[in-house]
Amino acid sequence: MNSLVIEGTYENGVIKPDGPLPLKEHERVRFAILDAVQVADALAAAERTYGLVPWTGDPEVLRRIAEEPEFGVAESP
């Protein structure tokens, strides 16, 4: 499975996703936790730099790249 970005709520020691997930029962996953400030910062950076590099490829590929935790604000030096 490729990367998947979801939103959810942490309650009583459990992360509860906002909706169903495309996972098999007992499938192992890895979490990358971003707080709302990090997400807001990433969106603000995207808005400030929108259009600097023209993208002529598939919009879905660009969305997956933008949502990949490896390239997020938390990974910036």
CB 61 within 8 A of CB 23: no
Alpha carbon distance 77, 67 (integer Å): 18
Q: Which domain holds residue 59?
A: 8-75
**Inside any domain, residue 58:** yes
In a domain, 22, yes or no: yes
**Is residue 2 situated within a structural domain?**
no
Structural domains of the chain, count: 1
pLDDT score of 74: 52
CA-to-CA separations, 16 to 9, 26, 32, 37, 58, in angstroms, rounded: 5, 16, 14, 20, 31
Q: How far apart are CA 5 and CA 29, in angstroms?
A: 12
- Identify the three-state secondary structure at position 10: strand
Residue 14 is assigned to a structural domain of this protein: yes
pLDDT tens series, the chain, 77 aa? 567 788 889 999 999 999 999 999 999 988 888 776 677 777 788 788 877 778 788 888 887 887 877 766 554 44
